[in-house]
Amino acid sequence: MIPFSTRSISSKASERPRQNKSEKQKGQSGSETKKDISTVEDVFDAPTYNIPEKPVTFVEGASYTAIIIVGLGIAAAAGYAVFKELIFQPKEYKVFNKALKRIQDDSQVRVRIGSPITGYGQESRNRAARQRIPHKTWTDEEGVEHVEINFYIRGPHGTGKVYSEMFKDQVDKQWKYTYLIVEIRSPTPSQLILESYMPAYNMDKK
């Protein structure tokens, strides 16, 4: 009985160091795993303020400034053109609007081409070309402004072409007709002289 108990005690004593050693190894491996996990950095959490920036040279800065100035200049020019078009209407458009209104109110023209009557600058499908009124402006020796225009008209039953000249009266500063001629082209060709006026200053010179 004594040898058997001695063997069992010695076997238990030999197993304890092995268990302690395995537990230590497990503890070390667990701590190493935790250490490895803690040392892994998240890519998205990495600081971005350490990224080196490319320095901007003087030439690049000057080119950027020039591009900005050019862009602002183009925008300012476009804005001025629109403002001038809306606020300061060109002389030829003032004359065109007055002549067209006179034609639209004339019964002779309405009988021939119908109503409503529209006017446009050129026989073209291009909108810009249709809105552009052919004209000529000049100032005579008396200092009187003259505007000569021609444009097309169209009604439900026919078409025509208009020739007109106006001058700006120096007394009341209003645009007045030198002449207004409507040339009916269809359906039946004819010519109508709606306005014919000889300014007094030309009559005095004669």
Q: By the 8 A CB rule, do 160 and 182 touch?
A: yes
The residue-averaged pLDDT of 30-56 equals 50
Q: What is the pLDDT of residue 126?
A: 87
For residue 97, which of 116, 120, 115 has the smallest C-alpha distance? 120
Q: What is the pLDDT of residue 70?
A: 80
Largest CA distance in the chain: 163
Most confident of 10-19, 23-32, 61-70, 161-170: 161-170
| Lowest mean per-residue pLDDT among 19-33, 50-64, 135-149, 178-192 | 19-33
For residue 156, which of 111, 191, 196 has the smallest C-alpha distance? 111
3-state SS, residue 175: strand
CB atoms within 10 A of CB 9: 10
CA–chain centroid gap for 38, Å, is 56
Q: How confident is the model at residue 81 (pLDDT cuts 50, 70, 90)?
A: low
Q: What angle do CA 66, 69, 75 make, to 5 degrees?
A: 140
Distances, alpha carbon 32 to alpha carbons 23, 26, 60, 170, 197, in Å: 14, 10, 53, 103, 110
Q: How confident is the model at residue 89 (pLDDT cuts 50, 70, 90)?
A: confident
Instruction: Specify the higher pLDDT residue, 101 or 3.
Output: 101
pLDDT of residue 5 exceeding 50, the answer is: no
pLDDT, tens digit (0-9, with 9 covering 90-100), for 93-134: 999 999 999 999 999 999 999 999 999 998 888 888 888 999
